[in-house]
Chain A
Amino acid sequence: MSSSSAVIISHLAHRYGEHEAIRDLSFSVAEREIFAILGPNGSGKTTLFRVLSTLIPIQQGDVQILGYDLRRQPAAIRSQLGVVFQAPSIDKKLTVLENVIHHGRLYGLGGRALHNRAEEMLSRLGLADRRRDLVEKLSGGLRRRVELATGMLHQPRLLLLDEPSTGLDPGARSDLWQYLEQVRDNDGVTVVVTTHLLEEAERTDRIAIMHKGQLSALGTPHELQAAVGGDAITIRTKDAAALAAGIREKFNIPAMVVDSSVRLEQPNGHQWIPRLVEAFPDATEAITLGKPTLEDVFIHFTGHRFWDENDQEEDQPKKKKKH
């Protein structure tokens, strides 16, 4: 895959003081794919985004982006990169068009060519009639579109987005994903997006699941779901540990305790439900059966629930003074 890889990460590690945000991470992103880096808060995905966007320097390991070495040629990478940050990097006091023009100049564009390109991007994103509006007057969805317009203005070959759906309503979210698909199909751009939204990751070509700074799984949404191996059965009970032990003993199948529920993955899950209820009639408060979702995939590969309160380590240096 190395010849057609947009991003190659090998043995990347990053720490903030004592805290290891990324540990020995290696994977590649192919050209022209929409690639999701999925993980809960504290999984290290935002740190990875910062390294890939050249915002923070590499500490350990190697990264190659579009054939350039990130450590030695960050400037070359920057000109090929479109970056959409989670906190908008557009200026609220400027108009939509002013933001786009300023951004273009930062990427070496100018004159007629810049204006034409700016107008083209604005009409592509449905912003043409808002061009004279101050960004601070726009809704979250429209601001995100301005960000996308600036991010794609200089025709980057790789578009990086950090949690792009944050603060978007479902309609705007759907527009965003349609646009990303367009960018991949029509412009041949590779799209790397970090997300903590499981349903969002299902729309991508491939997903890397990160957990505690490491890669837990990598594959297409379909492959990952198939890896769960059957249906997901969740039993709510008072003493999950005892029930899990009982199930393991009686049926000789793996049973996990996840968030004080018992969890099983078995083919033909529907056949297991009566057997389990009959075997442990008093222990079962509620039992659910489902096709594996990405949440099940996450649990399968990490042994943790996706939203686990106790599990949220700091992903970033502590902000001492936040106002």
Chain B
Amino acid sequence: MATNVQPTPASVPALPVVFTLCERELVRFFRQSNRVFGALGQPIIFWLLFGAGLRGAQVGGGSNLDYAHFFPGTLVMILLFTAIFATISIIEDRREGFLQGVLVAPVPRWSMVMGKILGGALIAMLQGIIFLFLGWLTGALGWASILQTSLGGVIGAIALMFVISIALTALGFLIAWRMDSTQGFHAIMSVFLLPMWLLSGAFFPMDVSGWLGWVIRINPLTYGVAGLRYYLQNVNAIVDHLPSISTCWLVTLVFAGLTFAASWWIAGTRSTGDLL
């Protein structure tokens, strides 16, 4: 049987595959006007609601729970929702049949995963940057001072946002790969993703004691939120109980690396959902 087996030819270059799949995500996004509407609308709505509700509010007298305090957390929430919803489209890809065409193409599996994740992360970044701009606008218009930042701070924030987006889209990929319907996703959303955001220092302060404090400390998203505070707020690491900026970067990079590696691994496993 194996007498005249031929040598294996070189496989297809990976980067064009990453590029083409990423491009597809973006083209699909911009072509679905309801998605674009949502993407532009969500940051604006959050901006207006938080602005109206928290402008100048000094909850509990002298506490720092004001608009500026919630800004980085809201930014991360926007990244979280968009990133994760962008990759659960893999369920749709599977059900519509697109995925099977990619799975039988001679492409390295990681390039397929990377294309999908990068596309989702860029869509999340787009919304994050809009929200960032609105935060700056609030200050520029003199309504409230939300961002205390320099140009370097903005660049640092955008770079960190990108790593967070990659981590979260990869997390979405990881969750969605085995699912065969988007319905199942709502359970994950409420029992896992929403608590993950609530317990990331975005909502509760970092210095909560007891088990809640521990959950906040082992939650990788905490370090993303904290990192953005350094770039966007005038914070003091000791007073605000924040981890150091290098810890924030390290944990966020490791978070992104691990979720990507896990996505790559899971994409190599077959699920019955491949079989439309």
| Interface residue ranges, A against B (CB under 8 Å) | 2-3, 8, 10, 50, 53-57, 62, 64, 66-69, 72-73, 75-76, 78-79, 81, 83, 85-94, 98, 101-103, 105-108, 110, 150, 316-317, 319, 321-323
Contact = CB atoms under 8 A, between A and B. Distances in A.
Contacts of A321: 180-181, 183-184
B24 A106 contact: no
Interface stretch (B6-14, B71-79, B119-127, B231-239): B6-14
B275 A90 contact: no
B100 interface: yes
Chain B interface residue bracket vs A: 35 or more
A78 B153 CA distance: 47
B22 to A, nearest CB: 11
A91 B98 contact: yes
Q: Which 6 A-B pairs have the closest CB atoms?
A: A89-B101, A87-B97, A108-B12, A78-B106, A106-B105, A105-B20
A321 B183 CA distance: 10
Interface stretch (B27-35, B159-167, B169-177, B186-194): B27-35
5 contacts: A85-B101, A90-B101, A101-B20, A106-B17, A106-B107
Contacts of B275: 50, 55-56, 316-317
Given A87-B276, A108-B13, A321-B181, A73 B106 contact: no
B106 A75 contact: yes
Interface in B43-81: none
B274 interface: yes
A55 B100 contact: yes
Nearest to B180: A321
B104 A54 contact: yes
A56 B99 CA distance: 13
B254 interface: no
Contacts of B107: 106
A225 B56 CA distance: 88
A73 B104 contact: no
B25 to A, nearest CB: 11
Nearest to A83: B104
A107 B106 contact: yes
A67 B6 CA distance: 6
Given A50-B275, A78-B104, A323-B183, A91 B6 contact: no
A319 B274 CA distance: 11
A103 B16 CA distance: 11
Contact of B276 (A54, A69, A85): A85
B150 interface: no
